[in-house]
Structure 1
Amino acid sequence: MNLKGMNLKKERTKIQMVLTVLVILSVVRQFFLGNYHNMFLGILTLFLFMVPAVLDQTLGVTIPVGLETVILIFIFSAEILGEINAFYVKIPVWDTILHTTNGFLMAAIGFALIDLFNRSDRFSIKMSPYFVAFFAFCFSMTVGVLWEFFEFSMDWFFGLDMQKDWILPSISSVKLNPTGANVPVHVDIQSVVINGEKWNLGGYLDIGIVDTMKDLMVNFIGAVVFSIIGILYLKHRGKGKLAASLIPQVRDEKEQKR
């Protein structure tokens, strides 16, 4: 490993240590507050911090410093800041930012998986950069859809609110057309009645649909961005500092045996 690589590794270790200390402090704080649910989320975060190392060992790939840093910050932002410190509620765009990042990260994992097969001597079929990038995109979108299934299931069966509500000022519905024709009628909504009480919300309370579609759309954006980076990387393998810092590197068999 060259001097530059050693310096990057040191920086990565520092970032991981700082984030780990912050998580431990959060776990201790939640314990004394008696909030054991959040304490469990903190402990879960510490295990999730080991994901890059697990991927490194199980997939036979080297996670670049840039990508690993993004993964660690993403986990910290989602669990500690988002869930425990309620950034999802305090900062409306927080969920959007994380779902975009998730689309990007899942595309990176999908890219590493298919590139691992593509470069293996055990497979005679060699795939084009466009197909590899397309697989990474599809992998990311599939994970995004499965996550939305999970959120819906948790809300439906356990009464949670993972699919956040939205206030929409108007609707267009064919059900409200008095003629019965298949023509939508536009209706502006200023207030709603909940349990007999009037709420001036400035619209109606949408239960999860807008949030789900928004999450999938930004997941799409993240997946597309990484797929484009992946295509450029494969067409000019070994060139480009940005791609090299984000693309998982597949180790050859000699390196994996070390």
Structure 2
Amino acid sequence: MKANSGLKKNRTKIQMVLSTLVILSVVRQFFLGNYHNMFLGILTLILFMVPQFLDRKLSVTIPPGLETVILIFIFSAEILGEINAFYVKIPIWDTILHTTNGFLMAAIGFALIDLFNRSDRFSIKMSPYFVAFFAFCFSMTVGVMWEFFEFSMDWFFGMDMQKDWIVPAINSVKLNPTGANVPIHVDVQSLVVNGETWNLGGYLDIGIVDTMKDLIVNFIGAVVFSVIGILYLRNRGKGKLAASLIPQVRSKQEEEHSSRDQ
């Protein structure tokens, strides 16, 4: 109990610090006249309240450890990534966040299926492996849907959410002069854009590499959480690491006790 209380206090401190930084960022963007970034800052403050909203409305207890990860993820994506352009300044920033996203979405999927698994309305009780598999599939589905969104924004609105990559070589059967189904390896040093030669050390890939990289790291994050979920269900309540990261469904008695405390 003392350890959990300490985590809650640290979570509260972290949320206060991050909220203060977001407010300062909103004020700064206002004076700079950048109202789009100011809106992103306000959106960040709203997203900070989502975990507590879900805690109250869905009777799901989000552990302090997981809530802290969620808060840092939102801050890193919106304030650091978007407003301060960390996506451009730090090449691996997008990779880190997509890995974390895979982890968090698996946590949400885990909580959803565990809600049904522990409900008295359902006579079928699912094994820990199936629950973890559902969490993994949920995370990957969200990851794929996000890539659909990025592609749509680039295609219809002229954005660059699927970041370009410089690819130094290609392997293509189309370049085989014999017409055989054997790929020819070609090292690419430069490319021509509107008649102008750009010596980039490769050709410009416009999203395929970025999309596959994002899905791969999402896969890694989902697998990591799924393993933690299996260990948690097999030894429910015993693992400190899992308990600090796994959302828990409150029983009716716990809900009534929580209501009386409020």
TM-score under structure 2 length normalisation: 0.96
Aligned-pair identity in percent equals: 86
| Long gaps (5+) in structure 2 | none
Equivalent residue letter for 1:77: S
Distance in 2, Cα, partners of 1:155 & 1:58:
35
Q: Secondary structure at the match of 1:186?
A: strand
Q: Is 1:86 aligned with 2:85? A: yes
Do the aligned partners of 1:59 and 1:113 also contact (CA within 8 Å) in 2?
Answer: no
| Long gaps (5+) in structure 1 | none
- Tell me which residue corresponds to 1:44: 43
Equivalent residue letter for 1:26: S
TM-score under structure 1 length normalisation: 0.97
Count of residues paired in the alignment: 257
Distance in 2, Cα, partners of 1:79 & 1:215:
17
**What are the Cα deviations for residues 185-236 of structure 1, in whole angstroms up to 9, with x where unaligned?**
1110000111211111000000000000000000000000000000000000
- Tell me which residue corresponds to 1:19: 18
- How much has 1:36 moved relative to structure 2? 1.2
- Tell me which residue corresponds to 2:67: 68
RMSD over aligned Cα atoms: 1.0
Q: Secondary structure at the match of 1:187?
A: strand
Distance in 2, Cα, partners of 1:152 & 1:162:
7
- Tell me which residue corresponds to 1:111: 110
Do the aligned partners of 1:63 and 1:247 also contact (CA within 8 Å) in 2?
Answer: yes
- Tell me which residue corresponds to 1:4: 3
The range that moved more, 45-54 or 15-24, is 45-54
Distance in 2, Cα, partners of 1:214 & 1:177:
28
Where in structure 2 are the equivalents of 1:1-258 lying within 5 Å?
2-257=1-256, 258=259
Distance in 1, Cα, partners of 2:98 & 2:59:
27
Distance in 1, Cα, partners of 2:240 & 2:84:
35
Equivalent residue letter for 1:210: V
Distance in 1, Cα, partners of 2:176 & 2:131:
48
Q: Secondary structure at the match of 1:5?
A: helix
Distance in 1, Cα, partners of 2:218 & 2:54:
21
Equivalent residue letter for 2:93: W
